[in-house]
Structure 1
Amino acid sequence: MKLQKLLSILFVSGSAWVVAINVAIAENAQISSSKIPYLNQVEFFSSSAYQLVQTPSQETVTITAVKANPTDKGVEVILETAQGEKLQVTNRSTGNNFIADISNAQLRLPSGEATFRSEKPNSEITEITVTNIDTNTVRVVVAGEKALPTVELFDDNAGLVFEITSAATATQPPQQPETPQSEEPAAQQDEPIELVVTGEQDNYRIPDASVGTRTDTPLRDIPQSIQVVPQQVLRDRQARSITDGLENVSGVNPISPGLAGSRDNFTIRGFEIYGNSLVNGIPEDILSDSSFVNVERLEVLKGPASVLYGEGGLGGAINFVTKQPLRDPFYEISATIGSFNDYQGTIDLTGPLNDSRTALYRFIAGYRSAETFVDFNEFTKLSIAPSLSLSLSQNTDLVIESDVNRMERNGQQPPGLPAVGTVLPNPNGRVRRSFSSKGPVTDNLTIAGRVGYRLEHRFNENWKLRNAFRYRFYNDDDRGGAPDFNPTSLAADNRTLNRRAIIGSQFYDYYYLDTNLLGKFNTGSINHQLLFGFSLSRNTTDLRFEFGIPAAPVDIFNPVYDQRVVPTGIPNSSRFITRDTLGIYLQDQITLAENLKLLLGGRVDFFEERTTNRLTNVETNQSDTAFSPRVGIVYQPIQPISLYASFARSFTPTIGTSATGEAFQPERGTQYEVGIKADLTSKLSTTLAFYDLTRSNVTTTDPNNPDFSVQTGEQNSRGIELDISGEILPGWNIIAGYAYTDARVTKDNNIPVGNRLFAAPEHSFNLWTTYRIQKGDLQGLGFGLGFYYFGERAADLANTLELPSYFRTDAAIFYEREQFRAAVNFRNLFDVEYYTSRFGSGTLVAPGEPFTVQGTISWQF
């Protein structure tokens, strides 16, 4: 894929070196994402990439002023220097951003600030910034609203000039500013130099994410650890699930492998994450990858997120950013074939619906059929994700998005294996990884989906109103009472696995409405970015199950399945649950100085849960209020380094009563975190975080009445995390992380104090790196290599079983040329046998995937 050719003309005058950048956003200047290059196609600065250099200056040039003047075409931004010293400029592009780095300059404005910013100068430009990025480099960023700006350069005597042209005049030839006569020969003055920009992207490094503040804030300015797994990483790894993607984030550990399309479960910083998921910043009740073909990137906010999103665990939250409609036509088809009869096909279509490009669409569809490495554990999945983006006016945008997913699988949950015969010795031998405790069962049908909108209205360049609504449903049908089978225990002969059957269905409906006001203002020399809003949600759950139906056991070494059961037809659990929540939140991002930023936030939630027990015809009601504060500070001693510290709390409703009839209080989480974020280069960033997390109000057995619980339990996790991502050298990318996690029970009436928390290894490490050959006959060829290590970890809170550590190796080889891409990915290259814990059970484990091969071919047009 290629960026448009950007023409640049340079004129040299005797008194100053000036560049005029004419930014045009028009139909003939749009950048199609289908033409964004892979790194192997990028011409870097050292070769034929965009590089403007006069005779290098021995000293740093001071930019003394920045002026923004309106013109009949749009906006003209001038960078003034004291004596018109010679400057050195390089350029690159990332998404819709045109970026120019002046490598021998320093911005020193009369106000003392080190940044100039012009927000929304016209409808086609989101923002223009001029800022110091280190002691001798100034960066100029022109952010296009919906497309990458086109750039032309001219010499002028005024300084470094940016001429930004509105869409109405973008198609017209740019007017060259008049150049004063100088004593240089005319040939030197007028001879143009054509410069071609092939561009480059921050493929493995994403500098911004909205998940940490719900605003467009650079990650380096947020006092909390946030890791992003971008699209290029997901593509290079050919990620098929959430688990594949989150393996690239430190401190995130899988609980179950998510076989046959079941839900993925994780621990983050030692605490289990089950429902802490977001889609485009909107909370959802179930962490599911049912529509993973629509995921653009994954954002992991580590630590409490209640101050922004309401109830949730304190380990972290995962935000799924979906693929959005594009202004330029883009079409892609891909096909994948893998081990164990794994077949997948996807189509991705997007572009404008009208000539003015005020209506954009995107349609993504994917189908997958796989048998998996476990006997009888197979599934088919169909995903459809349409979306529509409408520009209702110059200041109002509306995005309507939805997806529907239909999945048929062999039972509701993946089969588990007994620990004896897998991670523990068995006198009868080892159990095959492919053994299924469930056996053949009738396919279970699940239909899930979501539909909603996001509306934004900009009152002016400083204030905007945002409103979003989403409805999500999840229907797990029992297909007329077909049983599912779960293992319970291993008999004394160490080969007979006892089983129980379960019949039932579950239906979830989730409604969420959020409205907030975002504004920027100053109080004296202090800058504020204020966020104020409220959210309303309703979550309904309809459960009908008959548990514990007697079923025939199975021999784990010579399985013969008897699937006959005799259900009573009367469920022993039938409930309808409704939870309503109102949240009101306030956040202020305060810039005390250019290098000192303060974050203050608070949220109060009012929730009520009503449960109807249809077996007893009894309705119970419980309500409570929770306040979640957040305080953080960021200090940047030099531009590339951010030192931060933060305090935050979370809450999770705890439903139930004590022996005295008192309703349980919400479970609380408290985090203290300090860290360092550093831009090692303009393309390589790292985060080092130290944290201390405490989970309180944990229910534990009442010592005076074992049939009830009390909220005296407490758990603590403290640790260190290191993440790094970006480009090391041209064509060489990396995303890696290390986590040390000391997660233990600190108070409990039943579990021994000091026990390690469930599925939380003390040491874990991940590394994925790729290299793309940049030129020559092999240009377009690339290689990938990954290492994943998870240390010993407890299979349950009682610490009755310790799962052994494992070290897994992945690899990839791919070829990319223009719109064509072919890739072969190898997982578990050396066929390491490993197991993960499963739903807290210390007697059952879940097998990890053996050696698999996956081949993919895709074409963009």
Structure 2
Amino acid sequence: MKPYPRALGLARQKPFLLSLLAGCITTNTLPALAEARVDLSTMEIQADAPEADDGYTALRAGTASKTDVPVKEEAQSVAVVTPEVIQDYDVHSLEEAMKFVSGVSQGNTLGNTKDSLVKRGFGTNADGSILRDGVRSNLSRNFGPTSERVEVLKGPASLLYGALEPGGLINVMSKQPQYIQSTTLSGSAYSEGGGSLGVDTTGPLGDTGFAYRLIAERQSEDYWRNYGVDQHTLIAPSLRWTGERASVTLAYEYNDYTSPLDRGTVFVDGHPASISYDKRLDEKWANTTGISETATSRFEYQLSDEWKTRLTYGWNNDRYSLAIAQPVSVTPSGELLRTANGGHYDYETTYTSWDFIGKQDFLGQRHDLLIGIDHEMNDQYRGKTYRNSTGSRRDINIYSPAYGTLAEPSQVSPTQSNARNELESTSLYFKDNWHLDDRWILVLGGRYQQFEQYAAQGLGANRKTSLDRDDQVVIPFIGLVFQATDALSLYGNYSRSFAPNTTVDDLNQTFDPEKGRSYELGAKYTLAPGLNLNAAVFDIEKDNVVSTRTVNGQSIGSAGKVSARGLELDLTGRLSERWNIIGTYAYTRTRILENNSNPAWEGNRLNQAPEHTASLYLTHHLQVQPDLGDWHTGAGARYVGKRAGDDENSFYMSSYTVADAFLRWDLPVHGYKAKLQLNVDNLFDKHYYPSSTGSALQVNVGEPRTARLSASVTF
């Protein structure tokens, strides 16, 4: 398979930076900007936004209302992984971040190449539930050096974000330009080999009102199994301008990456095969290589003391190629039949929204209002697609693998190449946090979304349009918050979700969008200053879930129904002056309620969804002499219960518990802030299997004990 062209860069794209500026600064806004210009020599610019986090506890979050709101005033469950948690446990991926949030586990990661998170029983690696600064992301990986905090909105989130699974969404918030000069140089060494070097610099540009930020990192680390390298080169500049009434932020991120595509291990008779844990069952050419880019711009203008408007433009693009040694079948003696597959992919999202955010008093009652319109285009394109002939030769033995027997993918499939799947939508939405009095908040919201779907694939005479339809949907939301005391807030909500179906069966049938409905009750309680306990119970049902059966050689689809019910608990914050805690527990009962294609599956659990998950992490700030610097240590473990490997429930992945620990030394060096930190993951070297692809021949293998030593200096 020929490598995907990598010298495309920005030249291949539309001149999107101009589009950003045009989208944010129109002829109508230029006078406003001019009027907003102030004499910065006499103006004090705040370096940071209002404090949103207190150590491990989040005080405010913006995902549930698209604006900064106290967490206790939201009629939904919102969890936040704060910057301090990310620093202490040296978080490097979204999966690592989610061990601090209840009810989230790993799904099918496509051989460890994509983010895939199951939330309240629902989620795939292509469900659109991961956002970057409020913009839906099409990228394979979404957490990195630019990530500052992660907000998780539980339950249906279609009110403000459109087509989504009903389990929730994850919003990765980026580091922003600051008006105080700071530069951090960092590096790390990885126990498996290799490491990283990085820089993060920010500060004002004179007295112009501008602030900049530049983040760059080069990482090259050996994969923990017997071969492969995980590496990337990232550069991310951003710029912010602040005036008296207006502000503009522009940001761009470029990431050139290569990572192994590891299909994991094989389950035999429902259990992991007794084979080497660290030996791969594919080939050295099995990897993914690509370029991902994001660009965002935001223009905000304070219309009055009560109202502001915000115009947002977002774009992200992931262009990559992958090659897979796909397992097909295995004999009792361990002879594995594989086929070489691959393809070139181009996934792109563009998003524009215009919001009006304000506070309005009416008849003595306050309304916190959001009114907006957005337009989104999601284009997923697979160009040349390689499907080598399977044949009948079993080319590797899982008990004593010998590599180099399977050739790289090279045979272009005329029926599966040039596959395009587009979803374009335009929506109107509103949300009103209606303060009935000092204790009661009624939350009302609605969304009207019109969308168009198009899908086609094939080369030449094999080209076939399989889906071309228009549709519309109305999404309601109602919630109620009762602030019983200053410490206790109770809430309940009813909400809905939708996600368009892309399935087209052999009878050329298409299907209505998947629709979910959810009921949720919860409590948010401050046990002590800086220590919060959140609890929620929920009941979700999802209709129009399509599955297929084979009749007379044809694939026939039909729609069914699934459900998820459960309980979630999250404890975060300070136990005392020197102790921090994160504790989570979730019980999630998932079931297939109706399945006309496979009635025997009714009553089965949804695949990848554990019934029980839990975690407990404690961090201690050691008391030492001041001239020895500050010492911090922490440790904890996460538990993930047994999960079904497929919807048929033909095999299960066992429960597991994995422990992590860290030790950090913060010390002044010639007036600079220096840090030396050791993180050890999977402290007791547990063998575990976090997810599957839905096949017993492709079960993901958990990372063994690894260590990372990192150092940084800030000046």
Judged with a 3 Å threshold, the aligned counterparts in structure 2 of structure 1 residues 613 and 264 are, in CA distance, closer, same or farther, namely closer
Unmatched segments (≥5 aa) in structure 2: 1-37
Please say which of residues 588-597 and 697-706 is displaced more in the overlay. 697-706
Within the candidate set 555, 572, 586, 2:397 is matched to 555
Kindly indicate whether the alpha-carbon contact (under 8 Å) linking 1:224 and 1:646 is maintained by their aligned counterparts in 2.
yes
Within the candidate set 768, 772, 782, 2:621 is matched to 772
Matched residue, 1:39: none
String of CA shifts for 1:597-620, please: whole Å, max 9, x gaps: 011111111111222333323334
Judged with a 3 Å threshold, the aligned counterparts in structure 2 of structure 1 residues 785 and 257 are, in CA distance, closer, same or farther, namely farther
Kindly indicate whether the alpha-carbon contact (under 8 Å) linking 1:418 and 1:489 is maintained by their aligned counterparts in 2.
no
Q: Distance in 2 between matches of 1:634 and 1:259?
A: 42
Matched residue, 1:517: 356
Shift of 1:844: 2.5
Matched residue, 1:802: 652
Matched residue, 1:29: none
Matched residue, 1:747: 594
Shift of 1:202: 1.3
| 2:338 maps to amino acid | R
| 1:560 maps to amino acid | A
Kindly indicate whether the alpha-carbon contact (under 8 Å) linking 2:624 and 2:631 is maintained by their aligned counterparts in 1.
no
Q: Distance in 1 between matches of 2:53 and 2:380?
A: 44
Matched residue, 1:759: 608
Matched residue, 1:215: 67
Q: Distance in 1 between matches of 2:659 and 2:509?
A: 52
Q: Is 1:617 matched up with 2:463?
A: yes
Matched residue, 1:379: 230
Kindly indicate whether the alpha-carbon contact (under 8 Å) linking 2:620 and 2:633 is maintained by their aligned counterparts in 1.
yes
Q: Distance in 1 between matches of 2:286 and 2:548?
A: 39
String of CA shifts for 1:87-138, please: whole Å, max 9, x gaps: xxxxxxxxxxxxxxxxxxxxxxxxxxxxxxxxxxx999xxxxxxxxxxxxxx
Matched residue, 2:328: 488
Q: Distance in 1 between matches of 2:409 and 2:494?
A: 55
Matched residue, 2:185: 333
Within-5 A mapping of 1:90-129:
none
Kindly indicate whether the alpha-carbon contact (under 8 Å) linking 1:363 and 1:387 is maintained by their aligned counterparts in 2.
yes
Matched residue, 2:451: 607
Q: Distance in 2 between matches of 1:545 and 1:205?
A: 47
Q: Distance in 2 between matches of 1:659 and 1:612?
A: 14
Matched residue, 1:204: 56
Q: Is 1:730 matched up with 2:584?
A: no
Within the candidate set 581, 590, 612, 2:425 is matched to 581
Q: Is 1:369 matched up with 2:220?
A: yes
Secondary structure, in 3 states, of the residue corresponding to 2:86? Answer: helix
Matched residue, 2:290: 446
String of CA shifts for 1:42-99, please: whole Å, max 9, x gaps: xxxxxxxxxxxxxxxxxxxxxxxxxxxxxxxxxxxxxxxxxxxxxxxxxxxxxxxxxx
Matched residue, 2:9: none
Q: Distance in 2 between matches of 1:335 and 1:259?
A: 27
Within-5 A mapping of 1:429-508:
430-441=274-285, 444-477=288-321, 483-493=323-333, 495-508=334-347
Shift of 1:293: 0.8
Judged with a 3 Å threshold, the aligned counterparts in structure 2 of structure 1 residues 698 and 401 are, in CA distance, closer, same or farther, namely same
Shift of 1:414: 2.1
Judged with a 3 Å threshold, the aligned counterparts in structure 2 of structure 1 residues 513 and 293 are, in CA distance, closer, same or farther, namely same
Q: Distance in 2 between matches of 1:781 and 1:215?
A: 36
Secondary structure, in 3 states, of the residue corresponding to 1:369? Answer: strand
Matched residue, 1:277: 130
| 2:401 maps to amino acid | P
Kindly indicate whether the alpha-carbon contact (under 8 Å) linking 2:387 and 2:413 is maintained by their aligned counterparts in 1.
no
Judged with a 3 Å threshold, the aligned counterparts in structure 2 of structure 1 residues 670 and 470 are, in CA distance, closer, same or farther, namely same
| 1:436 maps to amino acid | R
Matched residue, 1:546: 386
Shift of 1:571: 3.8
Kindly indicate whether the alpha-carbon contact (under 8 Å) linking 1:513 and 1:536 is maintained by their aligned counterparts in 2.
yes
Judged with a 3 Å threshold, the aligned counterparts in structure 2 of structure 1 residues 799 and 549 are, in CA distance, closer, same or farther, namely same
Please say which of residues 276-285 and 441-450 is displaced more in the overlay. 441-450
Shift of 1:568: 3.5
Matched residue, 1:264: 115
Matched residue, 2:560: 713
Shift of 1:362: 0.3
Q: Distance in 2 between matches of 1:779 and 1:200?
A: 27
| 2:463 maps to amino acid | N
Kindly indicate whether the alpha-carbon contact (under 8 Å) linking 1:552 and 1:563 is maintained by their aligned counterparts in 2.
no
Shift of 1:656: 4.0
Q: Distance in 1 between matches of 2:152 and 2:553?
A: 39
Matched residue, 2:22: none
Matched residue, 1:592: 436
Kindly indicate whether the alpha-carbon contact (under 8 Å) linking 1:773 and 1:779 is maintained by their aligned counterparts in 2.
no
Kindly indicate whether the alpha-carbon contact (under 8 Å) linking 1:724 and 1:734 is maintained by their aligned counterparts in 2.
yes
Judged with a 3 Å threshold, the aligned counterparts in structure 2 of structure 1 residues 662 and 256 are, in CA distance, closer, same or farther, namely closer
Judged with a 3 Å threshold, the aligned counterparts in structure 2 of structure 1 residues 282 and 849 are, in CA distance, closer, same or farther, namely same
Larger radius of gyration: 1
Judged with a 3 Å threshold, the aligned counterparts in structure 2 of structure 1 residues 679 and 706 are, in CA distance, closer, same or farther, namely farther
Q: Is 1:572 matched up with 2:572?
A: no
Unmatched segments (≥5 aa) in structure 1: 1-121, 125-142, 150-198
Q: Is 1:288 matched up with 2:154?
A: no
Judged with a 3 Å threshold, the aligned counterparts in structure 2 of structure 1 residues 846 and 523 are, in CA distance, closer, same or farther, namely same
Kindly indicate whether the alpha-carbon contact (under 8 Å) linking 2:450 and 2:472 is maintained by their aligned counterparts in 1.
yes
Within-5 A mapping of 1:844-855:
844-855=698-709
Shift of 1:806: 0.9
Matched residue, 1:321: 173
Q: Is 1:416 matched up with 2:255?
A: no
| 1:346 maps to amino acid | G
Judged with a 3 Å threshold, the aligned counterparts in structure 2 of structure 1 residues 506 and 788 are, in CA distance, closer, same or farther, namely same
Kindly indicate whether the alpha-carbon contact (under 8 Å) linking 2:340 and 2:407 is maintained by their aligned counterparts in 1.
no
| 2:131 maps to amino acid | L
Q: Distance in 2 between matches of 1:233 and 1:525?
A: 41
Judged with a 3 Å threshold, the aligned counterparts in structure 2 of structure 1 residues 746 and 569 are, in CA distance, closer, same or farther, namely closer
Secondary structure, in 3 states, of the residue corresponding to 1:549? Answer: coil
Judged with a 3 Å threshold, the aligned counterparts in structure 2 of structure 1 residues 857 and 567 are, in CA distance, closer, same or farther, namely closer
| 2:116 maps to amino acid | N
Secondary structure, in 3 states, of the residue corresponding to 1:842? Answer: coil
String of CA shifts for 1:480-502, please: whole Å, max 9, x gaps: xxx53122221232x11111101
Judged with a 3 Å threshold, the aligned counterparts in structure 2 of structure 1 residues 549 and 660 are, in CA distance, closer, same or farther, namely closer
| 2:601 maps to amino acid | P
Q: Distance in 2 between matches of 1:622 and 1:721?
A: 39
Within-5 A mapping of 1:639-658:
639-657=486-504
Judged with a 3 Å threshold, the aligned counterparts in structure 2 of structure 1 residues 530 and 203 are, in CA distance, closer, same or farther, namely same
Secondary structure, in 3 states, of the residue corresponding to 1:437? Answer: coil
Secondary structure, in 3 states, of the residue corresponding to 1:841? Answer: coil
Matched residue, 1:158: none
Please say which of residues 276-285 and 790-799 is displaced more in the overlay. 276-285
Judged with a 3 Å threshold, the aligned counterparts in structure 2 of structure 1 residues 660 and 375 are, in CA distance, closer, same or farther, namely closer
Judged with a 3 Å threshold, the aligned counterparts in structure 2 of structure 1 residues 656 and 752 are, in CA distance, closer, same or farther, namely closer
Shift of 1:838: 1.9
Kindly indicate whether the alpha-carbon contact (under 8 Å) linking 2:52 and 2:59 is maintained by their aligned counterparts in 1.
no
Secondary structure, in 3 states, of the residue corresponding to 2:485? Answer: coil
Judged with a 3 Å threshold, the aligned counterparts in structure 2 of structure 1 residues 497 and 354 are, in CA distance, closer, same or farther, namely same
Matched residue, 1:345: 197
Secondary structure, in 3 states, of the residue corresponding to 2:699? Answer: strand
Secondary structure, in 3 states, of the residue corresponding to 1:844? Answer: coil
Please say which of residues 607-616 and 620-629 is displaced more in the overlay. 607-616
Kindly indicate whether the alpha-carbon contact (under 8 Å) linking 2:340 and 2:409 is maintained by their aligned counterparts in 1.
no
Secondary structure, in 3 states, of the residue corresponding to 1:307? Answer: helix
Secondary structure, in 3 states, of the residue corresponding to 1:232? Answer: helix
Q: Distance in 2 between matches of 1:309 and 1:148?
A: 24
Q: Distance in 2 between matches of 1:425 and 1:577?
A: 36
Judged with a 3 Å threshold, the aligned counterparts in structure 2 of structure 1 residues 326 and 772 are, in CA distance, closer, same or farther, namely same
Q: Distance in 2 between matches of 1:704 and 1:628?
A: 36
Secondary structure, in 3 states, of the residue corresponding to 1:837? Answer: coil
